[in-house]
């Protein structure tokens, strides 16, 4: 589905991505975990067309899309749910979703849009109940649902999510993660950047660990959950307790 090769990007003289490569196969949920400032958001930004890579290549279903603008990436079937959600706060839930379907509606007409809208309300019934509410006045969890719903409206094959659990209560995080699992059962491919390593690795088919602009580790969700370095750095366990578990104490 998606392949990035030797991707480099940055802001001015600052190099944030230092030549990293990754791939996402159709139907996978791929997680990228890593500390603050590792460059995770820049990575997604450069895949979605918000940040122009300085070198390297990105291909989507075999087509070279390196440095394409967001409109083109969207048309190619790749949509980003950005960090901080970037909703249209003074507009209603319904209007936000309408703009999510902006390109689909212009291409395929109103009927396709209504179908997509019904699909989003099926996944997030809460949004259906609150169609007339202003997006900016909703709770964090509802806003995240709306951001995912807005992205779905563009009929993406690959959905990229940037820190979907940020700032949310544990119970709400659970809902969001089960929605991400539901995306896969709807035939979507998911690439997700997350601080909440434990929760995301449980549902991910594969994961990468990112450190200062490079991907340093790759494995299935289970492998990474069992990895000692990952446990220590991202799952908040001490070496001693890891050693204890290994020895069956």
Give contact residues for another protein (rule: CB under 8 A).
Answer: 48, 50, 69-71, 74-75, 79-80, 82, 85-91, 95-96, 98-100, 102-103, 105-106, 134, 136-137, 150-151, 154
Least separation, in Å, of the C-beta of 58 and another protein? 16
> Considering beta carbons, is residue 100 or 221 the nearer one to another protein?
100
> Considering beta carbons, is residue 2 or 209 the nearer one to another protein?
2
The answer to whether residues 113 and 150 touch, using CB atoms and an 8 Å cutoff, is no
**Neighbouring residues of 124: CB distance < 8 A, sequence distance ≥ 6:** 145, 146, 148, 149, 179
The span from the CA of 165 to the CA of 148, in Å, is 12
> Considering beta carbons, is residue 134 or 233 the nearer one to another protein?
134
Least separation, in Å, of the C-beta of 152 and another protein? 12
**Neighbouring residues of 201: CB distance < 8 A, sequence distance ≥ 6:** 31, 33, 207, 221, 222, 224, 225
Which candidate, 4, 31, 27, places its Cα nearest to that of 17? 4
Least separation, in Å, of the C-beta of 155 and another protein? 11
Least separation, in Å, of the C-beta of 66 and another protein? 18
3-class DSSP state of 247: coil
- Side-chain half-sphere of 239: how many Cα atoms within 13 Å? 1
> Considering beta carbons, is residue 70 or 140 the nearer one to another protein?
70
> Considering beta carbons, is residue 85 or 130 the nearer one to another protein?
85
108-137 as b/e, with b when 16 or more CB fall inside 10 Å? eeeeebeebbeebbebbebbbebeeebbee
> Considering beta carbons, is residue 112 or 134 the nearer one to another protein?
134
Which candidate, 40, 33, 34, places its Cα nearest to that of 9? 40
> Considering beta carbons, is residue 98 or 211 the nearer one to another protein?
98
The span from the CA of 164 to the CA of 183, in Å, is 14
The answer to whether residues 17 and 8 touch, using CB atoms and an 8 Å cutoff, is yes
Question: Which token pair is 108?
Answer: 């395929």
Least separation, in Å, of the C-beta of 91 and another protein? 6
Least separation, in Å, of the C-beta of 143 and another protein? 12
Least separation, in Å, of the C-beta of 93 and another protein? 13
């Amino acid at each position: 589905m998606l392949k990035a090769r030797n991707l480099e990007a940055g802001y001015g003289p600052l190099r944030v991505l230092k030549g990293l490569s990754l791939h996402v196969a159709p139907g996978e949920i791929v997680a990228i975990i890593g500390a603050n400032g590792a460059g995770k958001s820049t990575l997604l930004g450069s895949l979605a067309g918000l940040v122009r890579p300085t070198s390297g290549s990105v291909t989507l279903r075999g087509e070279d899309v390196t440095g394409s603008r967001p409109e083109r990436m969207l048309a190619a079937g790749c949509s980003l749910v950005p960090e901080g959600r970037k909703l249209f706060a003074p507009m209603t839930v319904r209007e936000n979703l309408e703009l999510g379907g902006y390109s689909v509606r212009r291409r395929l007409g109103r009927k396709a849009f209504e179908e997509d809208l019904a699909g989003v309300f099926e996944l997030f019934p809460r949004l259906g109940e609150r169609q007339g509410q202003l997006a900016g006045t909703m709770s964090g969890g509802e806003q995240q649902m709306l951001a995912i719903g807005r992205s779905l409206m563009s009929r993406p094959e690959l959905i990229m999510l940037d820190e979907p659990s940020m700032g949310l209560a544990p119970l709400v995080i659970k809902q969001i993660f089960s929605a991400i699992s539901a995306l896969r059962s709807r035939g979507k491919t998911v690439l997700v950047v997350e601080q909440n390593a434990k929760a995301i690795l449980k549902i991910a088919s594969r994961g990468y660990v990112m450190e200062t602009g490079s991907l340093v580790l790759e494995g299935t969700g289970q492998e990474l959950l069992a990895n000692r370095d990952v446990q220590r750095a991202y799952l908040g366990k001490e070496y001693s307790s890891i050693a204890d578990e290994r020895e069956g104490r």
